[in-house]
Amino acid sequence: MISIKKLSKQYNEKVVLNIPELHFAQGECVGLVGNNGAGKTTLFSLMLDLIRPTSGEVAIAGVRVDENEEWKRLTSSFIDESFLIGYLTPEEYFYFIGELRGANKATVDAFLGEYVEFFNGEILNSRKYLRDFSKGNQKKVGLVASLIGDPELIIWDEPFANLDPSTQIRLKNMVNRLRAVGNKTILISSHDLSHTVDVTDRIVVLEKGVVVKDIQSSPDSLRELESFFQV
């Protein structure tokens, strides 16, 4: 599904990412973990062609992201609040995303009905602009909006951050439902080791822009990761 080869990103003399080779298979749910500055957001930004690499390439479904836009049809993401449009209400934003992905209002309304519990009465019919929501509620909007149109590849950067404990549990349930579909590739970066292990098939650890660990999720994974980061 995703192929990364000889990928690097450098700012002035500082190399912030250097990945000779990395692959993510169709249907995998992968957690990307690492300390601040490890290169997680840089890697996602390169995957989404938001920034250009210093060298190397990223291909999604066989298409290089910097040469062709066909990969965008099957890819969706939420990186941060900059993906939102602050002067829209949640409903206006959902309909806007739906229009981009070929879904009419009725289809979007039916889709949103599946996320009533996740919204917890705080999003729809609030008559508020997105800019006036808390960061946690903005994140709820962004995460759900990224699922409109049934994308095959979902990329989420720090989805658990700024969410209260109840919403974090609902988000874990949401990810597990997406995994159960079987054909969706999901990439999640997070500082929360426990939640990441709970919802992923595989964990990739970045440190100073380099992949230092690539393991399958198991009952022992959390202990292994905690030992690694305690060093």
- The domain locations on the chain are 2-230
Taking the C-alpha atoms of residue 13 and residue 11, their distance in angstroms, rounded to an integer, is 6
pLDDT of 189 reads: 95
Helix 90-100 × helix 105-112 angle, to 10°: 120
- Class of 2-230 per CATH? alpha beta
List residues bridging with 204 in a β-sheet.
32, 214
How do residues 54-89 score in pLDDT, each as one tens digit? 999 999 999 999 999 999 999 999 999 999 999 999
- Considering Cα of 65, then 50, then 187, then 34, what sign does the dihedral take? positive
pLDDT of 231 reads: 66
Taking the C-alpha atoms of residue 167 and residue 144, their distance in angstroms, rounded to an integer, is 13
pLDDT of 145 reads: 97
Helix 135-145 × helix 165-181 angle, to 10°: 10
Q: Provide the 3-class DSSP secondary structure of residue 90.
A: helix
Helices then strands, counting H and E runs in the chain, come out as: 8, 10
Ranges of residues in the chain whose predicted pLDDT is under 70: 231
Residue 31: how many other CB atoms lie within 10 Å: 25
